[in-house]
Chain A
Amino acid sequence: MTPTLPITRRTVPWQSGQTSSGSSWKPWKCSNRCPQSWHLYRYVGMLTFLASGVCPYRIVSPYVPFAHRKGSAVIVTASNLHKAYGSTVAVSDLSFAVRPGQVTGFLGPNGSGKSTTLRLMLGLDHGGGQTLWDGKPLAAHKHAPRVVGAHLDAKFFHPSRTATAHLQMLAAAGRVPRSRVDEVVSLMGLESVATKRPKGFSLGMGQRLGLATAILAEPAVLLLDEPANGLDPQSIHWLRDYLKYYAAQGRAVLVSSHLLSEMEVMADHLVVIARGQLLADEPKAAFVARSVTNDVLVRSARVRDLAGVIAAELGPGSVRPEPPDGIAVTGASTEQVGDIAFRHGLPVWELSKRTASLEQAFLELTDAGQEFTMGGSR
């Protein structure tokens, strides 16, 4: 049976101060949540702990849960990113910021350069420009996994290394205690496959393992490339809630996705690119509000007359026909349109405001920048 991601926040262990197995922290374990094995050392370390108040494990391996880190909010600034493959420019002079406390959606058509941008930001690809993480390049941070957790592909694992071993290997990078590995396995609903080799994992299970990898060290920034691909609807719902929760803790989340319906409810801010160039970098509400689909629909028995008087008052470009008996008016409120009709004594059957969806706004903006289209040339 396919395990399912937990869907309630009750299961987020660090909210309740419980381990995944439900046991409370012992006072002598300090707030650092040291691994069980470490406490073989406690007979020696306890004296240090009592004398200085500092856990000896913390001196040797200073892993601190995000909630206990000081100055943990990290702003990511990508400046003038550029990447070309021969004569093909994949990313061109791209600059934007990913701010803490919000989910930033990273949108663009296929081949627009989203994945390349993420790789450039992480230093995996070489190109122009630079990305600063809290004012410093990623390589200048002592423990990069605590700064950024990235999930770029659901198949980035060795097929014969068990899921737990995969996470324990990566835990070494951030000096993450073993207990945190167990937490993440539990959080992602991977308990039943934790000791299995992932060569038979479905795309969805691979995504869960990738997400577990990304959040393992509780990084200040999450970079996720199409994280919802292959997840079942329940898991997508959980992921959306989790990422919003994650950002609400003061962390920054950058999510690249094609699922615009998900972005509509998840993202606070949008960065939109096409052909490697920045098209928009603004709050989601402002992005949607710019759409020409934000209009007022008016239906009338004398629609031609109505169109004439509205065009005369608001300008000819503000009216377009909506067959069979309506017009769409842009750049005016329902009240303005209603007043115009009333002043000219024209009957109105329907007067309604239509708000664009993120999808409509996205399609309008990226239509010209679509490099690869389906259904032939338009």
Chain B
Amino acid sequence: MTDLLTYEWRRARSIRTTWITSGFLVAAVAAFCYLTVLALESADEQGLPLTDIVQQSITVNPVVLVLLASLGAMAFGHEYRYGTIRLTLTAFPRRPGVFAAKLVMTMAIALAVMIVSVLVGMAIAAVAGAQQSGSGISWVTLAWQVSVFAATYAGLAFTLTVITRNHPIGIVGPLLLTLLESAVIAILGERFEWLPRALPLTAMQNWFAGVDVGLSVAVLAAWMGGLLVASFVLLQRRDA
């Protein structure tokens, strides 16, 4: 496993896209934090606490969503796009190990970039004049919510890329899924009241909002687990 993780780390760090995407993600969070503080000031409203600004800048920012999905899709997306999956699977013929190492490295990179984004976003928001204290979410809440958000979107992109073997679908898939969920809820939500609670991204939002926490966690875990199992089985069974 050490060899696989080393291999994955070298794979990720040796392409510019990883660094460019990570840089844009941090910049997007920072810019959103700054613009949020400016918008609240110009509206002459009472400012949001620092943690709330950072949380909002990450979890409701479509640019962050796409960039995060891009990081998640890279692990297998580039491999399939450029044929290097055959080099990887020749060097490491045991596919479960390859799947696990790529998943671990993808999550590690996504979380690392999120940590940097949060720190930079907070610094920018603080400099721009955001409230340092208040009745916002706690630091602990911010940490786990951002972590879950990053893991969910990077994981969605990761699994969709393996399932479709298509890098662009891996990137836009999570965004499309978000839009699809909104559309489904708007059309069918009133008729089937249980439906919103059974959808993964809505379940994540409910979890963050403290609504039906147990059910929301179970729904999100079931969706993510199902997608991971499906992508793992397909990687195992399909030709490289």
The interface of chain A, by Cβ under 8 A from chain B, is 119, 122-126, 137-139, 143-145, 148, 150, 152-153, 155-162, 165-166, 168-170, 172-175, 213
Contact = CB atoms under 8 A, between A and B. Distances in A.
Most-contacted residue by chain A among B6, B86, B94 (CB, 10 A): B86
B91 A170 contact: yes
Contacts of B14: 158, 161-162, 165-166, 168-169
A172 B240 contact: no
B94 A139 contact: yes
Interface string B81-94: 01110110111111
Given A160-B16, A165-B10, A172-B6, A152 B86 contact: yes
Interface string B229-240: 000000001111
A169 B3 CA distance: 10
A227 to B, nearest CB: 15
Contacts of B83: 153, 155-156
A172 B15 contact: no
Interface of B: 3, 6-7, 10-11, 14-17, 78, 82-84, 86-87, 89-94, 237-240
Contacts of B3: 143, 172-173, 175
A145 B89 CA distance: 10
Q: Interface majority SS on B: helix, strand, loop or mixed? A: helix
A172 B93 contact: no
Residue with the highest number of chain A CB atoms closer than 10 Å, among B7, B82, B93, B240:
B93
A336 to B, nearest CB: 53
A158 B15 contact: yes
27 contacts: A122-B90, A124-B89, A124-B240, A126-B237, A126-B238, A126-B239, A137-B93, A139-B93, A139-B94, A144-B91, A145-B91, A150-B90, A153-B83, A156-B82, A156-B83, A156-B86, A158-B82, A160-B15, A161-B15, A165-B14, A166-B14, A168-B10, A168-B14, A169-B7, A169-B11, A172-B10, A175-B3
B84 A157 contact: yes
A336 B203 CA distance: 91
B84 A156 contact: yes
Contacts of A160: 15-17
A160 B89 CA distance: 21
Given A168-B14, A173-B7, A175-B3, A157 B82 contact: yes
Nearest to A116: B239
Contacts, number: 80
B16 A124 contact: no
Nearest to A156: B83
Q: Which 6 A-B pairs have the closest CB atoms?
A: A173-B91, A165-B14, A139-B93, A124-B240, A172-B6, A169-B10
A172 B11 CA distance: 10
A175 B6 CA distance: 10
Contacts of A172: 3, 6-7, 10
Contacts of B11: 169
Contact of A124 (B6, B82, B239): B239
Contacts of B7: 169-170, 172-173
B165 to A, nearest CB: 14
B93 A119 contact: no
B91 A123 contact: no
Contacts of A122: 86, 89-90, 93
A159 B14 CA distance: 11
Contacts of B15: 158, 160-161
Given A156-B86, A169-B7, A170-B87, A144 B92 contact: yes
Contacts of A125: 239-240
A175 B17 CA distance: 26
A172 B87 CA distance: 12
Nearest to B84: A156
Given A125-B239, A175-B3, A159 B82 contact: yes
Contacts of B86: 119, 122, 124, 150, 152-153, 156
Contacts of A169: 7, 10-11, 14
Contacts of A123: 89, 93
B240 A144 contact: no
A122 to B, nearest CB: 5
Nearest to A142: B3
Contacts of B91: 144-145, 170, 173-174
Given A157-B82, A175-B3, 6 more contacts: A124-B86, A126-B238, A138-B93, A144-B92, A155-B82, A156-B82
A124 B80 CA distance: 13
Contacts of B237: 126
A172 B84 CA distance: 15
B92 A173 contact: yes
A181 B165 CA distance: 31
A180 B77 CA distance: 29
A228 to B, nearest CB: 20
Nearest to B13: A165
